[in-house]
Amino acid sequence: MAVANVGCLLARKSSCRVLMIDFDLEAPGLHRYFPDTPYGTLEGGVIELMSVLAHAAGALPRMRDEQRREQRVLEIVQSVALEDYIRKTRFENLDVMFAGRFDEKYGERVATFAWPELYLTAPEIISLLMLRLGENYTHILVDSRTGFNDVSGLCTAVLPEKLVFVFTPNRQNLDGAEKVIREAIAHRRQSNDLRPLIVFPFPSRIENAEPVERDLWRLGDASGFVGYQPHFEEWLRSAYGLPRCDLGPYFDAVQVQHVPFYAYGEKIAAEIERSRDILSLSSAYQRFIDWLEGKPWSALTDEALKKYATALKQRFGSIEVPGTFISAPIHASFVRPQLLFRGAETAQHLSWRLVSRVRHLEIQGEHGSGKTTLLQWLAVTAAEHLDRVPHTGTIPVFVSATVLDTRLPVIESLRAAVGQFGLPDHDLFVLRESLATRLQAGSVAVLVDDIDSLESELQRALFDANLQHFARTFPRCPIVITRRTGPLAALNADFKQCSIGPVTSNEQRHLVRLWSGLSSQMSEGSPGTAELHISTLLASWRRRTPLLVEMALRQIESDESHDEFQLCRSYLDVVLGRTASKTESIGDAATIMKALQTLALVAFSYRGRDSMPITMAEKELRKFSEGSEAHDLASAIRATGIVEWRSRSVAFTSPPLAEYLAASYAAASWPRSSALIQDWLFQRRTRKRIRLFRFMVQAASRHERDEILTAIIEPPENRTLEMAARAVIAARVISVMPDVRGSVASRILGALVAAGRNPHKRTEYEEAVAEIRLSAWGPSFDEILQRETPIQADDGLRSSGLLDAIRVEESGDVERAIRLYTHVMQSLTNTTQDDAVRALALFRRGTAYEDIGNGSAALVDYRLAVEIAQAAGDRVLAARARFRCAQLFQRTNHKDGALAIYRDLGTSVRSRDFSELQEVAANSLVAAAEIEAERGRKDSALLLLDEVTYALEGRNETALAMILAQALLVRSIVFTKARMENAAIAALDEIATRFAGRYDLAEYLSAAQLRKASLLKESDPGEAAMILDRLIQGSVRGRLPMSPALMENAERLRAEIAKRK
C-alpha cells in the first residue's frame, strides 16, 4: 500500500517518471492495486527478467579481466528490451514492473531461481540494471519484504539509496528490524558502492483511537518498556556514528494512521481522497515524501528554517538602519549606554547582544524614527543564523500588534505569522508544529510592531492580557515591542526600555549626498565624472539598499528641486520609513528619476553583497550616463531583460521589477497617501496586474500597446472564468487611456459584456464598469451593451443556451428565464463538462425562483446544484449554493439549520488559494455571527467575527474588504446589544481607520459614521451632529458618496438631533 501511494504522489507532484518494482516474489501484491493494467501480452515481470539476465550471464566465459567482464555484463543489460517487462498504469508518468507472469508455473520459477549463482557469475548485473532503469525514471520504488533470504538482502543492501522500513508497532516487526538495518548499512560500507544508504523507519497502521497505547509504543514508559522511537534512535546513532539522533520531529510528521476503509481490498488513498487535510492518508504519505529529501535525524525543520530564512530576507532583506542611535539604560551587560548602528557586523553583534541579555525589550521612538525598520532589520539579522545546520540560532517571528488584540491565543497568531511568507505546505506544517517546543526552549524571538495602532481600551486590554499570559507561559522566549510614547503600564515591570535617537546633521548631509549625487552629476553633463560617480554610488548601494517600494513612491511624488532642505526632508523620509504628511504635486517622471529607478533595480539585485559581476542593468545605466540613445524607460526595461516582448504577449521576467513597476505607476496615478498606495500594491491577483499592464502600455509604442491589450483578452485556453478575468483587466487598463485604437477598445468592451454574464466575476465586472462609465469609453460601452453581442463566449455555454437564459433573466423576464434554464438542463448530456453547466443552470434557476418568491423550489434547485457541482469539482459554485440554502433557512426561521451550514462553510475561511471560496466562507461566518448575536450569545458571535478578521487580515481585494467591513459593523451591533457603547464605537472607528480613502468601500464608511452618530445622539449630540454634517457635505461634494437610503437616514437623524437642541 505504501509503495502504491508514494508512487502516485511522486508522479503527480513532480511530473517526473516513476517506476514501481514488485520484488516481493514470494507474496506479490502490487499488481492488485493496478488490476486494470494489462500484463498477459508482455514477457512477464521481475522473475522472468531476472531469468533472462541470469541465462545470458551464465553463458559468459570466465574472464580474469574484471573491466572486460563488466563490459560484457553491461552489454547483456543493454540488450534486454525492458519495455517488455514494464507496464503503463492508469496514472500519468507512473509505470510498474510486476513480480512476474502469474500463471501455473510462477511459483516454480520463483522457487528454482538460483540467486547465489547469479551473484557469483555477474555480481554487478543488478546494479547495472538499476542504472539503466534510472536513465528513464527519476524515482524507482522497490517493494520487498523484510527478512534474511536472498531477495530481501538484495533489496535492503544492494539496490537502494534510501531504505524505507515500514512497520506496525509490535514486537514481531521490531525484533528483526535492528539486524536488518545493521546488516544493510554494514554491507554498503564494506562494498565498493559509494552511494550512502539512509534508513527511514516508517510507522504504519497507527490507531488514533488509543492515544495511551500509541504513546506507549512510540516513547515507552518508566517501567522499562522501550518504544520504537528510542529503539530506532539508538540503532541509527550507533550505525551511523552520530553524536545524537533525535527522531522526534520526524515521527511527529510521519505516521500513517489506521483507516478501516482501506483494510478491505487494495485501494490507493492518493487516488480516492479528494481532501488533502492533515488527517488524510494521502497527506501522511506526502509528508513522508517531503522527508525523503533529507535524513530522518537531521530534522526537516532545518530545511524548513532555511527556506523560512530565505523568505524572511527576501521580504525584509533590503532593510537598513543608517545612523540610528539606540539609547538604553546603563546596565551591567552594556559597555556604554549608546549603541551606534553603522556597519553590518557591528549592528548584528550589538543588536542581538541587546536582545539576548534583555529578554523583554521595548523600543521607543517618535513617528518616522525607524522603529519598524529596526525591528524588521533585527528579524533579518537573526535569519542569518538560520542557514546553519544544525540550527542553533533564534527564529524571528515578526507580527503586528493588531493581530494580538483578539481572543485567539498568541501562539496561534504566531503560527499564522509564520505562514505569511508563502512557504510550501510541508515546511509550514513542520515549523508550526515545532513552534511550541521552540518557544519553551527560548529559541523563538517574538517581534511585535505598532502597539500605538491599538486605539481603543478594549484592544489594549486584550493585547496586555494576551502578552502577559504569553510571557508567563514562555518565560525564556525573547520579546521585542515598539511604541511611540511611554511604556505600557501593565508591562513596565517586565520590559526594559530603550529609545531611538534623532539622526544627526552630519548623517543627514551624508544621506543627502548619497541620494542626490547622481542627479547633480547628470545635470552637469560630464560622462567621465558620471562614470566614476556611478561606480561609487553602486558600491554604496550594495551596502545600503533602501525599501524598494518606498523609494519608488518617494521618487515620483517628490519634486526635482536640489534645495538641501527639500532633499533632506524627502530622502530621509524614504530611508527612515516615514510617510509624508501631505501629498506633493506630481509631474511626469524626469530623465534623472528614471536613471535613479534603474539604479535602484541594480541595488536591489545585489542584496547587500559587495562583489558581483556587472549586470545588464549596470551596463544600461552606464550607457545612459555616457549619452547613449537609451533615454527612455521602455528601452531600459527591454535591454535589462526585465520584460520579454513576444509577438502577441508580454512576459514579466523579474519579480522585483514587477513590484517596482506597480509601485511607480500607483504612485503616479493615485496621488493620495503613501500608506494607502502600499495597501493597493500588495493586493493579489487582478489589481496588481492592472497596475502592471497600465504602466507597461504607457511605456510602450502604439503598436506594442495594441499587441499587449489584444493579448490580454486572448487566453491560451477557452475557459470562461479565465476570459472573464482577462476582460475585466483589459477594460480597467483602457479606462485611463482615451487614445487607444477604437477597434481594440471595441473588442475589449465586448469581452467585458460577456464577462458580466459570469456569476463568479460579478463584483470585478461591476468595478470595471464603474471605471469605464467615468472614462471616454462610456458611450461605446453603452452601445455594445445595448447590442448585447457576446464576444469569445465559451462554446459549451453558447451551445447550451445558458447565456441566453441569463440574458433573459437580467432583462427582468424571470418566468421565461426559468423555462429556458429548464430547457438547458434537459438538453445536456452526462459528461463532466455538461455537469458543470447543469450545476450553474440549477443555481441560476434557484435565484430566479427566489426573485418570484418561490423559496421551496429555489431550495430544491440549490441542493441539486450542490451535489452536481461537487461531483463536477466546482467547489466555489457548491459553496455558493450551500450559502443560498442557509440564507433561505434563515429567512424562514430555521436558524439552527442555517447556523450549521454557515459554520461548516466557514471552515474554508483561511483558504488563500481560492479567493472566491474564502469570500463565501467569510460571508458565512459573518452571517453566523449575526444569528448568534440575535440569540444573545455575545462571546460566540465575537469569536466568529474574530476568525473573519484574522483570516482576512492584509487582504485588500474589494470583495473581501467589504466582508471585513461588514464584520466590524456586526461587531459594533454585538457590543451595542451588550450595552458596551465604547467598544461599539471603537469597532466603527476601526472601519474608518482601516479603510480610509477606499472609495470602493464608501458605502461601509458612510454606514459606520452614520451608526456612530446614532450611538452618540444621546450622550454627545454635538459630536453626533458634527459627524452627520461632515457626512452629508462629503456626499454632496463627492468625497464620500452615499446611497439615497443612507442619505435619507442621515438627514432624518440630523433633523432629529436639531429638534432636540
pLDDT tens figures, 145-193: 765 555 666 777 777 878 888 888 888 777 777 778 777 877 776 666 6
Read off the pLDDT of residues 940-974 as tens digits, 9 standing for 90 and up.
Answer: 888 888 888 877 776 767 777 888 888 888 888 88
Spatial separation of the C-alpha atoms in residues 988 and 1007, rounded to whole Å: 9
**DSSP assignment, residue 42?**
S
Q: Count other Cβ atoms within 10 Å, centred on residue 266.
A: 14
Among 98-102, 506-510, 696-700, top mean pLDDT goes to 98-102
Sequential DSSP letters for 591-645 = HHHHHHHHHHHHHHHHTT-S--PPPHHHHHHHHHHTT-S--SHHHHHHHTTSEEE
Q: What is the pLDDT of residue 830?
A: 64
CA 616, CA 638: separation in Å to the nearest integer?
Answer: 10
Q: How far is CA 234 from CA 182, 226, 237, in A?
A: 12, 11, 5
C-alpha cell at 884: 443560498
Cα 617 to Cα 601: distance, rounded to the nearest angstrom: 8
Residue 19's pLDDT is what? 92
Average pLDDT of 258-262? 79
Mean pLDDT for 884-893 is: 86
**Predicted local confidence at residue 192, as pLDDT:** 62
Residues 517 and 481 in one domain: no
DSSP codes, 835-901: HHHHHHHHHHHHHHHHHTT-HHHHHHHHHHHHHHHHHHT-HHHHHHHHHHHHHHHHHTT-HHHHHHH
**Residues above pLDDT 90, as percent of the chain:** 0
Q: Does residue 743 belong to any structural domain of this protein?
A: no
Interior angle at CA 496, CA 495 and CA 498, nearest 5:
130
pTM over 0.75: no
Q: Is 720 exposed, middle or buried (0-12, 13-18, 19+ CB in 10 A)?
A: buried
Identify the domain boundary among 298, 326, 358: 298
What is the structure's pLDDT at 949? 81
The single-letter code of the amino acid at 602 is V
In a domain, 690, yes or no: no
The answer to whether position 263 is within a domain reads: yes
Residue with the larger pLDDT of the pair 190 and 423? 190
645-700 pLDDT per residue, tens: 334 333 333 333 333 333 333 333 333 333 332 333 333 344 445 554 554 555 55
Per-residue confidence (pLDDT) for residue 554, from 0 to 100 = 41
pLDDT in tens, 333-379: 222 222 222 222 333 333 444 455 557 777 776 655 556 666 766 77
* Tens-digit pLDDT profile for residues 999-1031: 667 778 888 888 888 888 888 888 888 888 888
Q: Which residue has the higher pLDDT, 140 or 329?
A: 140
Which helix (H) or strand (E) segment holds residue 21: the answer is: strand 18-22
Q: Are residues 967 and 1023 in the same domain?
A: no
140 and 14 fall within a common domain: yes
Q: Quick one: 977 and 849 in the same domain?
A: yes
User: Do 913 and 955 form a contact (C-beta atoms < 8 A)?
Assistant: no
Q: Are the C-beta atoms of 559 and 566 separated by less than 8 Å? A: yes
pLDDT level of residue 74 (50, 70, 90 thresholds): confident
In a domain, 469, yes or no: yes
Domain residue limits at 331:
308-497
Q: How many angstroms separate the CA atoms of 340 and 358, rounded?
A: 18
Residue 226 contacts residue 237 (beta carbons within 8 Å): no
Reduced to 3 states (helix: H, G, I; strand: E, B; else coil), residue 201 is strand
| CA distance readout (Å), 685 to 419, 546, 732, 875, 1000 | 19, 26, 14, 19, 17
492 and 588 inside one domain:
no
803 and 881 share a domain?
yes
pLDDT at 431: 61
Q: What would the DSSP string read from start to end of 118-167?
A: HHHH-TTHHHHHHHHHHHH-SEEEEE---SSSHHHHIIIIIS-SEEEEEE
Distance CA 236, CA 251 (A): 14
The predicted structure's pLDDT at residue 166:
86
988 and 1003, same domain (yes or no)? no
pLDDT surpasses 60 at 867: yes
Residues 331, 368 within the same domain: yes
Q: Please, how many CA atoms are within 13 Å of residue 525, restricted to the half-sphere of its CB?
A: 0
Contact 795, 754 (CB under 8 A): no
Q: What is the pLDDT of residue 549?
A: 33
Whole-number pLDDT of residue 498:
66
Contacts of 398 (CB under 8 A, 6+ apart): 312, 316, 375, 376, 379, 417, 447, 449
- Same domain membership, residue 29 and residue 80: yes
What's the pLDDT score for residue 697?
A: 57
- In a domain, residue 787? The reply is no
pLDDT at 632 over 50: no
* 114-135 per-position pLDDT tens digit: 887 887 778 788 888 888 888 7
| Per-residue pLDDT reduced to its tens digit, 726-748 | 777 778 778 777 778 787 888 88
Residues 275 and 327 in one domain: no
Distance linking the first and last C-alpha atoms of the chain: 80
Task: Report how many domains make up the chain.
Answer: 6
Which domain CATH number covers 843? 1.25.40.10
User: Within a domain: residue 841?
Assistant: yes
Of 234, 264, 298, the residue that ends a domain is 298
Mean predicted lDDT score pLDDT of the chain: 67
Backbone angles phi, psi at 189, to 5 degrees: -70, -35
Would you say residue 60 has pLDDT above 60? yes
Residues 18 and 120 in one domain: yes
Instruction: Judge whether 492 lies within some domain.
Output: yes
CB atoms closer than 10 angstroms to residue 255: 19
Amino acid, single-letter form, for residue 508: Q
pLDDT (tens digit per residue) in 788-815: 544 443 444 444 577 778 778 777 788 8
C-alpha to C-alpha distance for 629 and 618, rounded to whole angstroms: 15
* Residue 722, number of CB atoms within 10 A of its CB: 13
- Between vectors from CA 709 to CA 703 and to CA 710, what angle results, nearest 5°? 90
Which pLDDT belongs to residue 572?
33
DSSP 8-state class, residue 64: S
Question: What is the rounded radius of gyration, in angstroms, for the C-alpha atoms of the chain?
Answer: 34
φ, ψ at 793 (rounded to 5°): -75, 145
Strand order in the sheet with 18-22: 87-88, 94-97, 18-22, 139-143
461, three cell numbers: 486590554
Indicate if 424 and 548 belong to the same structural domain.
no
Q: What is the spatial distance between Cα 373 and Cα 366, in angstroms, rounded to a whole number?
A: 13
Of 267, 298, 329, which marks where a domain is finished? 298
In a domain, 303, yes or no: no
Positive or negative: CA dihedral 690, 696, 698, 700: negative
**What CATH number is attached to the domain comprising 388?**
3.40.50
Quote the cell numbers at residue 362. Answer: 521595548
